C-alpha cells in the first residue's frame, strides 16, 4: 500500500489537472473531499509529503487494523476542516499516521518527546503560515492519536510499532 499510494501521487502530479479544482473547500463539489490527498501544488510539496509518508508509514506495523482508518479518516477530517481556499496534499493522512505513532511510543520518553515536539511544531507552523490548512494537520494527528488510545484500551497485546524499532 505504501508504494501504491506514492506512485499514484507521483503520477497524478504530472497529469495536466488544475489543482484548484481538485482541492476541497467550502464551496467545492463533494468528490473533492475524496481525492484531495493525491494532488500536490509543487514538486517540493509532493516530495516532502511522500518522504514523510514513506518514513512514518514504515515505522508502523502495516498489519494493524488502524490502517483501515487512513482513507476514511482523511475524508472525515477534510469535511471538518473545510476552508474558503482549496486544500490539497497528503498531510492530513500523514498526520493521522503521526498520531498513531505518537500513541505507540508515548511510554518511551526518549522517542516520544522529540517526535511529539517535531509534530506539534509543524502543526503550529501550519496555523501560522498562509496557504496551509493547519486544522487538517491538528485533526489528523488527534484522530490518529485517539484511535491508537482507544485501540490500546481494547487490545493491550498488539503493538503498532515494528518489533526491533521500539
β-bridge partners, 87 = 24
- Asked if the structure places residue 140 within a domain, the reply is yes
Residue 92: closest CA among 111, 71, 109: 71
Residue 153 phi, psi dihedral angles, 5° rounding: -65, -40
- Asked if the structure places residue 64 within a domain, the reply is yes
Higher pLDDT: 2 or 46? It is 46
DSSP-derived letter for residue 160 is: S
β-bridge partners, 161 = 60
Q: How far is CA 143 from CA 110, 125, 132, in A?
A: 23, 19, 19
DSSP-derived letter for residue 155 is: -
Q: What is the average pLDDT across 154-164?
A: 56
Predicted local distance difference test score (pLDDT) of residue 159: 53
Question: d(Cα 140, Cα 75) in Å, to the nearest integer?
Answer: 10
Predicted local distance difference test score (pLDDT) of residue 152: 84
- Asked if the structure places residue 159 within a domain, the reply is no
**Domain residues for 63?**
2-154
Interval 95-137: pLDDT, tens: 999 998 898 898 888 888 999 999 999 999 999 999 899 999 9
Interval 39-92: pLDDT, tens: 999 999 999 999 999 998 888 775 666 677 788 999 999 999 999 989 999 999
Predicted local distance difference test score (pLDDT) of residue 166: 45
- Asked if the structure places residue 8 within a domain, the reply is yes
Q: What is the average pLDDT across 153-160?
A: 63
Instruction: Write the CATH number for 122.
Output: 1.20.1540.10
Amino acid at each position: 500500500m505504501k508504494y501504491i499510494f506514492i506512485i499514484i501521487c507521483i503520477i497524478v502530479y504530472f497529469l495536466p489537472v488544475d489543482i484548484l479544482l481538485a482541492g476541497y473547500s467550502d464551496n467545492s463539489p463533494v468528490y473533492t473531499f475524496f481525492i484531495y490527498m493525491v494532488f500536490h501544488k509543487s514538486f517540493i510539496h509532493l516530495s516532502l509529503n511522500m518522504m514523510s509518508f514513506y518514513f512514518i508509514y514504515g515505522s508502523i506495523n502495516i498489519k494493524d487494523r488502524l490502517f483501515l482508518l487512513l482513507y476514511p479518516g482523511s475524508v472525515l477530517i477534510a469535511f471538518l476542516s473545510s476552508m474558503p481556499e482549496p486544500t490539497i496534499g497528503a498531510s492530513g493522512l500523514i498526520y493521522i499516521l503521526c498520531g498513531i505513532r505518537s500513541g505507540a511510543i508515548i511510554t518511551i520518553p526518549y522517542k516520544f518527546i522529540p517526535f511529539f515536539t517535531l509534530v506539534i511544531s509543524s502543526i503550529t507552523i501550519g496555523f501560522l503560515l498562509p496557504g496551509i490548512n493547519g486544522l487538517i494537520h491538528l485533526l489528523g494527528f488527534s484522530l490518529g492519536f485517539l484511535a491508537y488510545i482507544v485501540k490500546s484500551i481494547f487490545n493491550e497485546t498488539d503493538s503498532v510499532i515494528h518489533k526491533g524499532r521500539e
